[in-house]
Structure 1
Amino acid sequence: MKSYLSVLSTPGAWRFLLPALLARLPYAMLQLGILLLVQWSTGSYGAAGIASAAAAISQAVIGPQTGRLADRYGQARVLLPQIGVHAFALGTLLLLASSHASIPLLVATAALAGASVPQVGAMVRARWAYSLGSSQKLGTAFAAESITDELTFTMAPVLLVALSTGFSPVVALLVALALIVTGTVVFATVRTAAPEPMPVKVRSGGGVLGLRGVALLAAAFLAMGSVFGSLQVGITSYTTLLGVPAAAGAVYASFSGASVVGGLLYGAVRWRISAPVRLAAGLGLLALATGALLFAGSLPLLYGAAGLAGFVIAPVVITGYTIIERLTPAEVRTEAFTLLTGAIGLGIATGASLAGQLVDNFGPGLAFFVAPSMTAAAAVLVLARMKRLRPAPEPVVTVREPLPR
């Protein structure tokens, strides 16, 4: 634990970590919260799924653009207007849902709410990169961030469902709105470790996505996102088939808990193997681990397979963030982090959608086919293009000595 204590004892770190944690919990509540809210309002799961997907896709598309603005103008100048737009959009969605507005209006407002979500998680990583530089401590800090993500994605659904069933989805999202506004405003006003605004000097055909290795990493993160989305659907439908639907939450908690353990162990190791090799190997292991879910014919086996998949996924996510920090210059780093975060969100929506179609057409067991197929494809892609994940070599400059006269 010394490595974690060393990072967390960085002077001033807790001044931005605590409000960031408050702001990130609702981030993990939004997609499921919109799903429950629209279904409660319209009575249609189809409409709810479309609204939830609209929020996820708009977030994945717009998130990197807000990261770009944060790199250029500073985090506070982006977050404060953004949280105002998000509060307006989510508040409007709650009013529309309460008045049972039309489905197209609900979907459009859900998309605006998703597009305006403050990207606090990416900005925390940018602060760590700015304050720690490329060092062993930075890898440990990224591990701590991935563990925080897992904890929020574990706690958020529990809180959301408890408030939704105890009161209503409107009350649940009102609580989420209060948390995200409070946390984001405090985080934005704390200047500790905030990167200084920089003029963008990077020029590439596709922006940050066109930089060396970034598109490859985005594809890998989309595959990792599909694991989260497809397992949510698969575990829920498969426990129902086994006659124990109430066990779904506990099985998914075993996935999240094992992910926390895997991330803790991974972040504490001083690795001698290069990060690109670790990413390719990790994706391959993730394909095997998630593939084990296809053979889990009983509840105990389902617990074990879910735990195995969770244990592997956190190290792969941490490695990806470590690589992109090394590939991208400081002036576009927040945009790069938000790009990967958006890719995970898009992967969650894609995985859930594909798994849902497989469940509807072929049965619950086939939902578990999505994760191993997508992560295996990502592993092959990373292995084939691994050189793109290493920084470009510095040009060699030859200095010629003048000939003696």
Structure 2
Amino acid sequence: MASTVTSEPSTNSPASSRPGYGQLLRTRGAWTFLLPGFAARQPFAMLTLSIVLLVQHTTGSYGAAGAAAAVTGVSMALFAPYSGRLADRYGQRTVLIPGVLVHTLSGVGLTVLALAHAPLWALFAAAVPTGASVPQVGPMVRARWGAKLKGSPLMTTAAAFESVTDELTFVVGPLLATALCTAVHPAGGLLTEATLTLVGGLLFAAQRGTQPPVAPAGHARVEHAPALRVPGVRVLIVTFLGIGSVFGGMQVSLAAFTESIGEPGLNGVLYGVFAAGNMLSGVVCGAVAWKVAPQRRLLVGYAALALAASGLWAAHSVLLLAGLGLLVGMCIAPALITGYTLVEGLVPAGARTEAFTWLTGAVALGQAAAVTVAGQLEDRVGGGAGFLVPMAGTVLALVTLVALRSRLVAPARERTVARGVGHREPVAVD
């Protein structure tokens, strides 16, 4: 299985247990899926904000804009795990190509309806396929790393690298979406998102040689048992819902704040600062040879995230929001990286793409709920009330994580070195 402690005797598995980005990026064939994968996942960071800015422009309501974005996020969260399961069973290319085409057409349709001032129900109808067909490129890239590294100590570095890549897209994406929607045309962000999805997704799908192998038909029942049956995955889903509440709450609340001070262009800058903090801490997190068990790291990091997010609602200046946003971003990356790393020990190799999509979908679902609630709060209360959403989401998720932390320990069957009932045995994935 991919979670054994012995790694391949190749350049893909360094002799040293200390992780390193240089060693990771020298993995044979890595660049063939990293570059197109980066292009294909860039639109994900643009989608929600582009919808919010377009619909707010055409309706004048942050509540309506948040609701339309939320329908997209909920659709993605519901359909993403099934997309991941199909990718595990039939191959990534088979699932990706039709998904890319449907998403592009749906995004263009949503844009046309919004510009035509269609009723809100029509926007919701177009938002469903737009969200349901979002290509799950990030989980697919993570699954390719898992197939390449096969239990190497570099798996933690790979998880960190992917988090950094995700956050780089969340630095560039909001800035690009804001610039296009405010300086070019309100529909510019969503149309660009659809175009990048089409081009990047097809290029990524063309990389057949690096996609994880599909299990033989005789092993399908074992290898493709639903990832949701793993108790630890369910705990991580709640944890990632809280992270999604930070993304969604900040997107709407920052947009409302910058609009209220007459500087809408600062929205992308402030959100970019938040994402930059996430990216920088992700770089550091992946470069450290951790001695602390990942379960404990997740608890400590998530407590710091909840504490930092709880201060956002009290900030009423650009500089203070930028500073707090940077701090919140720095707390998110360790939680994301550790959560994805834990999947390596909790889930069989044949179900990992599905597990990753459950986590990605949880972020999207938390984001969807957050943009809806934050939009309503900004419309009805104002004064930064939307920032209460990240606080509530992270605190509730932290309580769940503390109560169910024992479920994050990998079962003995996943490791040949873990025998008996010693659930405190460290998981040797980092």
> Residues of 2 paired with 1:95 and 1:356: CA distance?
23
In structure 2, give the amino acid aligned to 1:124: V
CA distance in 1, matches of 2:375, 2:142: 33
The answer to whether the aligner puts 1:224 opposite 2:248 as a matched pair is no
Letter in 2 for 1:357: Q
- Specify the alignment match of 2:222 in structure 1: 201
Uncovered stretches (5+) of structure 1, i.e. residues with no partner? 398-405
- With normalisation by structure 1, the TM-score equals 0.89
Contact 1:13 1:192 in 2 (8 A): no
Distance, in Å, in 1 between the alignment partners of 2:83 and 2:365 is 17
Secondary structure at the residue paired with 2:43?
helix
CA distance in 2, matches of 1:176, 1:112: 15
Query: What is the aligned counterpart of 2:303 among 284, 294, 306?
Result: 284
Paired with 1:28 and 1:314, the residues of 2 have a C-alpha distance of 15
* Counterpart amino acid of residue 88 in structure 2: D
Look up the SS of the partner of 1:213 in the other structure: helix
User: Which of the pair has more CA radius of gyration?
Assistant: 1
1:11–1:232 CA distance, 2 compared to 1 (3 A): same
- CA distance in structure 2 between the aligned counterparts of 1:273 and 1:382, rounded to whole angstroms: 17
User: Matched residues in 2 for 1:290 and 1:231: separation?
Assistant: 10
* Residues 308-317 or 230-239, more deviating: 230-239
Correspondence for 2:129 among 112, 116, 120: 112
2:253 to 216, 234, 254: 234
The structure-2 alpha-carbon separation of the partners of 1:110 and 1:236, relative to structure 1 and needing over 3 Å to count, comes to closer
Q: 1:297 deviation in Å?
A: 5.0
Query: How big is the shift at 1:362?
Result: 4.0
What CA distance in whole angstroms lies between the structure 1 residues aligned with 2:24 and 2:401? 30
Show structure 2 runs of 5+ residues with no match. 1-17, 421-430
2:239 is aligned with what amino acid?
A: A
Distance 1:391 1:259, change over 3 A: same
Quick check: which one's helix share is greater? 1
> Residue 151 in 1 paired to residue 168 in 2?
yes
Matches within 5 A, 1:346-357: 346-357=365-376
* Deviation digits for residues 288-347 of structure 1 (CA, Å, limit 9, x no counterpart): 122233443544333222211111111111000001221111111101101100100111
Give aligned pairs, total: 395
Match runs of 1:10-25 below 5 Å = 10-25=27-42
Alpha-carbon distance in structure 2 between the residues aligned to 1:177 and 1:362: 34
80-89 or 111-120: bigger deviation: 80-89
| More off after superposition, 209-218 vs 86-95 | 86-95
SS of the residue corresponding to residue 364 of structure 1 reads coil
Residue by residue over 1:35-62, the C-alpha shift from the partner in whole angstroms, topping out at 9 and shown as x without a partner, is 3334455555544333221111101100
SS, match of residue 134 in structure 1: coil
For residues 6-405 of structure 1, the aligned pairs below 5 Å read: 6-41=23-58, 45-198=62-215, 199-201=220-222, 207-238=226-257, 246-394=265-413
The alignment partner of 2:20 has SS state of helix
Give, in angstroms, the shift of residue 99 of structure 1: 4.3
Instruction: Identify the range of structure 1 (278-287 vs 159-168) with the bigger mean alpha-carbon deviation.
Output: 159-168
RMSD value, Cα: 2.5
Aligned equivalents of 2:187, 2:72: Cα separation in 1: 17
Letter in 1 for 2:173: A
Distance 1:245 1:182, change over 3 A: closer
CA distance in 2, matches of 1:287, 1:155: 25
Distance in 2, matches of 1:64 and 1:258, equals: 28
In the superposition, the TM-score normalised over structure 2's length comes to 0.85
Structure 1 position 243, deviation (Å): 7.0
Identity of aligned residues (%): 45
Distance 1:237 1:29 in 2: 17
Paired with 1:123 and 1:240, the residues of 2 have a C-alpha distance of 37
117-126 or 188-197: bigger deviation: 188-197
Partner secondary structure for residue 209 of structure 2: coil
Aligned residue for 2:427?
none
233-242 or 161-170, which deviates more: 233-242
Structure of greater relative contact order (alpha carbons < 8 Å, 6+ residues apart):
2
C-alpha separation in 1, matches of 2:242 and 2:25: 30
* Structure 1 stretch displaced more, 160-169 or 66-75: 160-169
1:145-188 Cα shifts (integer Å, max 9, x gaps): 11111111221122222222343244433332221111111111
Tell me, yes or no, if the aligned pair for 1:200 and 1:332 is still in contact at 8 Å: no
User: Residues 75 and 173 from structure 1, CA distance in 2 versus in 1: closer, same or farther, beyond 3 angstroms?
Assistant: same
For 2:61 and 2:385, locate their aligned partners in 1 and report how far apart those are by CA, in whole Å.
Answer: 24
CA drift of 1:372 comes to 2.8
Segment drifting more, 65-74 vs 227-236 = 227-236
